[in-house]
Amino acid sequence: MTPRSTEPRRDGSTSRRGSSRATGEDAGRSTGLGGIADARAYTPRGRTVREAAELRRNPRPARDTDPFRPALHVLDGGEPAPSRSGRRDPRQRAAQPARPPADEPRVSGRPGRSRDNAASVLPPRRRPDDARPTAASRGRGPAPAGRKPPRPPRGPRTPRPPRLADPRRRLRLATLLTLALFAVIGIRLIALQLVTTPAYADGGLQDRLSPPVVLPAARGSIYDRNEAVLAHSVEARYVYADPESVKDPGRAATLLSPLLGIPRSDLIKRLVKQKRPDGRWSQFEFLARGVDIDVAHKILELELPGIGIDRDERREAPGHDLAANLIGFVGQDMNGLEGLEARYDDVLRGINGEKVFEIGQGDLATEIPGGYSRVTEPKPGSSLVLTIDRDLQYEVQRILSQAMKQRKAKTAAAIVLDPRSGEVLAQASYPTYDAADPLKFDPVDREDAATSYVVDPGSVHKALIFAAALEEGLIKPDSTVTIGPAIRKGDTVFADTHHVDPGTRMTLPGLMAYSSNVGTIKIGALLGPQRIYDYQRRFGLGERTGVGVLGEASGRLLPPKEWSGSAYGSVPIGHSVDVTPLQMAAAFGAIANDGVWVQPHLIKEIVDHNGRSSSTPAPKTRQVISASSAAATRTIMEAVTTVPNATGLSAAIEGYRIAGKTGTGKRIVNGRYTSEEVASFIGMAPADNPRYVIAVFAHTPNGTGGAVAAPAFREMMAYTLRHYRVPPSGSKAPAFVVHR
């Protein structure tokens, strides 16, 4: 094996790479660059190729200036460094192996390079014959035949340096980890920005939002048939406080109390700091609603910290008590409590809006300009157009109140009805109240007597018995009935108030004019319980009319199976029959309308906040009796206002034919009769072509229908005919024969 050079090539050889010749001292040494010795002597701190070439051009430098020369010798095995003169030690030179002769042929395939250069470039190869020293070479003679030569002893192993990691693998791994990290961060950012953004944003926003501020929706108005205002909402202000911002609650309460009309003690409770049911501090408290605008301006001039005003509305009834029992009123929150205001509250009320906005904290707890704000605009309610005529309503109420005060009546009702359409033109109650301040009046005074009071109709019920008997053909307009002073039914004796002798034959107009109980009971006996009950139902008794008033009573009829012996006498003359004044007015409307019953109603149309109107469902109608039977009944009833000494003479109107009937009954409270009587009169005019029906019921200590209700009817009907310019009757009432 070729011995390794003990000295790396550090001489100043000037031989060119690839030269095959050398001269002088350099002839015995390899002069090629990049030999194995040079390669092993080259370290990160060794010479560069350019420096080695420079040394070859100048082999004997004056002074070795390489500062790392001692270290390189240490790396080479600790051999002594050459002298400062640049000459090598002869001992080192002797240890150099012999160089190949100068005329060594060139290595094939690499032109211009000698073998010695090739050997200096390529590491020496081991050959099998010189891989190990043989016995002959060691002086031991030839090795025995068939026996392998012994292995030479191995010298100490040189430890291999640790294998360095591949930088490319580390770079790829670091790149993958970096990309994975950025991917995770990117996915998380996308999730935060797009997927869960609303949740995080809302979570923080909720802490900065103010409590919802209600934007009241304007309540619809109530108009009469000519669109005159009966009840409407007007612009006002509400006063509120932010207890968090009120500096001096006592002083603020003292100043606000006289302006708002609220006791100081009540105001202080709303002005001091307080927690809401959800545990948060209250930042909004109502102090007053519906405050006049001028009063609100005075409050602003006080410049009280934490006190503010905002837009509100207040319900007003310009007529005060005009149709108050019919219209009703609203509460502080503009919700209907009684009457039409309560019955049609869902139509009138509308839908409130809401405002929520972002506020600051602490002393800056006000709306943030440009911050989050959500406003839901209020939707105003629709308006009601009634069938009521305001002028007629006023006169009917005035006449009723004046008459009832004179008679010291407790309760009274009056209805003006158009029998052809079923429209209620006026519906008055006594007593009444001021709808602008309803809580100052007794709850009983606020009831609508026409629909909530249940009464015994008394003798006005007799007209229905006559009409049913005529329709059934049991009697004719010229029929007569033999009567006496009294008649017994069951255990009760029923007598006439107008005395007649036994066996007196009286015509139908005479029976009606004198309100004969005996004659009516006999005609009722011809009908029988079942037919009486059927006609009562067909005339609309015993069931709600559906006029539209909240709390309307239905009344009650006595079924035939419940009739006792006395019921055969009491029911035909209007006792043991529970009805409302409006039901009786509608029944007489069927007689006035040629036998067609039309459902009474108060609502003409509904108008939304955009001005679009929608009509209400058409009223129910049904034919109760024929037109001829209705006409015959009207003629018979004219005797009540024309026959001498008749019960209804005080209802007559000059120039007009009036058909009607008086009555005296009882009021029923909690299923029991009261001690006072209910006087009534129901009539129509003109009798030959009825345009209007008016019913008057009065609960008085005493007095008959002719004395109490008929005079009030006359004034109401006279005004109604003049108001609607109804011409006088073209003919006079017939001359009635009473006895035959």
Does residue 411 register a pLDDT over 70?
Answer: yes
How far is the first Cα of the chain from the last one, in angstroms, to the nearest whole number? 175
Asked whether the beta carbons of 697 and 581 are under 8 A apart, the reply is yes
Q: Which residues contact 247 (CB under 8 A, 6 or more apart)?
A: 305, 306
Q: Which residue has the higher pLDDT, 251 or 651?
A: 651
Q: What is the reported pTM?
A: 0.69
From 459, 516, 576, 629, active-site residue = 459
* Element at 297 (helix H, strand E): helix 293-301
As a whole number, mean pLDDT of residues 366-394 equals: 88
As a whole number, mean pLDDT of residues 161-175 equals: 80
What was the pLDDT predicted at 165? 67
Q: Where are the beta strands (DSSP E) in 556-654?
A: 596-598, 603-607, 613-615, 621-623
Does residue 428 register a pLDDT over 70?
Answer: yes
- Of the three residues 98, 126, 154, the one that is the final residue of a domain is 126
When the pLDDT of each residue in the chain is averaged and rounded to a whole number, the result is 81
626 and 501 in a common domain: yes
- Of the three residues 105, 126, 147, the one that is the final residue of a domain is 126
The verdict on residue 151 lying in a domain is no
Decide: helix, strand or coil at residue 592. helix
Decide: helix, strand or coil at residue 223. strand
358 and 306 in a common domain: yes
pLDDT tier at 686 (50, 70, 90 boundaries)?
very high
688 and 554 in a common domain: yes
- How many whole angstroms separate alpha carbon 688 and alpha carbon 46? 143
As a whole number, mean pLDDT of residues 404-431 equals: 95
Q: Report pLDDT digits (tens) over 266-305.
A: 888 888 888 878 777 887 888 888 888 899 889 888 888 8
The verdict on residue 19 lying in a domain is no
CATH number of the domain bearing residue 375: 3.90.1310.10
As a whole number, mean pLDDT of residues 138-163 equals: 64
- How many whole angstroms separate alpha carbon 56 and alpha carbon 516? 163
Asked whether the beta carbons of 667 and 698 are under 8 A apart, the reply is no
How big is the CA angle at 468 (ends 464 and 472), to the nearest 5 degrees?
A: 170
The verdict on residue 550 lying in a domain is yes
Structure tokens at 528: 């029988």
Does residue 382 register a pLDDT over 50?
Answer: yes
* Structural domain count of the chain: 3
What was the pLDDT predicted at 114? 42
CATH number of the domain bearing residue 596: 3.40.710.10
Asked whether the beta carbons of 682 and 660 are under 8 A apart, the reply is yes
Does residue 417 register a pLDDT over 70?
Answer: yes
641 and 519 in a common domain: yes
558 and 686 in a common domain: yes
Structure tokens at 182: 């950025």
Candidate ranges 213-217, 413-417, 572-576; pick with highest mean pLDDT: 413-417
345 and 455 in a common domain: no
What was the pLDDT predicted at 362? 67
Lowest mean pLDDT: which of 333-347, 510-524, 650-664?
A: 333-347
Active site residue 108: no
- How many whole angstroms separate alpha carbon 496 and alpha carbon 519? 9
pLDDT tier at 313 (50, 70, 90 boundaries)?
confident
- Of the three residues 77, 101, 126, the one that is the final residue of a domain is 126
Q: Which residue has the higher pLDDT, 109 or 632?
A: 632
Q: Which residues contact 584 (CB under 8 A, 6 or more apart)?
A: 457, 460, 461, 541, 680, 682, 695
How many distinct helices (H) and strands (E) make up the chain?
Answer: 22, 21
Q: Which residues contact 520 (CB under 8 A, 6 or more apart)?
A: 462, 465, 466, 511, 572, 573
408 and 337 in a common domain: no
454 and 414 in a common domain: yes
Burial 436-456 (b: 16+ CB within 10 A, else e): bebeebeeebbbbbbbbbbbb
* Element at 393 (helix H, strand E): helix 390-407
* Element at 538 (helix H, strand E): helix 517-538
Does residue 404 register a pLDDT over 80?
Answer: yes
Phi-psi region of 177 (alpha: psi -120 to 50; beta: other; left: phi over 0): alpha
The verdict on residue 152 lying in a domain is no
Of all residues in the chain, the percent with pLDDT exceeding 90 is 45
Does residue 3 register a pLDDT over 80?
Answer: no
Rg (CA), the chain: 62
The verdict on residue 401 lying in a domain is yes
The verdict on residue 146 lying in a domain is no
As a whole number, mean pLDDT of residues 595-606 equals: 95
pLDDT tier at 115 (50, 70, 90 boundaries)?
very low
Asked whether the beta carbons of 33 and 17 are under 8 A apart, the reply is yes
Decide: helix, strand or coil at residue 195. helix
Q: Where are the beta strands (DSSP E) in 48-101?
A: none
409 and 316 in a common domain: no
587 and 533 in a common domain: yes
Q: Which domain holds residue 91?
A: 24-126
What was the pLDDT predicted at 51? 66
- How many whole angstroms separate alpha carbon 125 and alpha carbon 122? 9
Q: Report pLDDT digits (tens) over 70-103.
A: 544 444 444 444 444 444 444 444 444 444 444 4
As a whole number, mean pLDDT of residues 136-164 equals: 63
Alpha helices in 206-289 (DSSP H): 249-260, 264-271
What was the pLDDT predicted at 365? 65
What was the pLDDT predicted at 519? 95
Does residue 64 register a pLDDT over 60?
Answer: no
Asked whether the beta carbons of 135 and 142 are under 8 A apart, the reply is yes
Alpha helices in 114-244 (DSSP H): 115-121, 167-190, 197-205
Look at the block and give the residue holding tokens 């030690």.
89
The verdict on residue 365 lying in a domain is yes
pLDDT tier at 578 (50, 70, 90 boundaries)?
very high
Asked whether the beta carbons of 393 and 224 are under 8 A apart, the reply is yes
What was the pLDDT predicted at 246? 86
What was the pLDDT predicted at 669? 72
- How many whole angstroms separate alpha carbon 698 and alpha carbon 410? 8
The verdict on residue 171 lying in a domain is no
How big is the CA angle at 342 (ends 414 and 378), to the nearest 5 degrees?
A: 135
500 and 587 in a common domain: yes
What was the pLDDT predicted at 290? 83
Q: What is the DSSP letter of 469?
A: H
Q: Is the peptide bond before 431 cis (omega within 30 degrees of 0)?
A: yes
Alpha helices in 66-166 (DSSP H): 69-75, 90-94, 115-121
255 and 277 in a common domain: yes
Q: Report pLDDT digits (tens) over 700-722.
A: 888 889 999 999 999 999 999 99
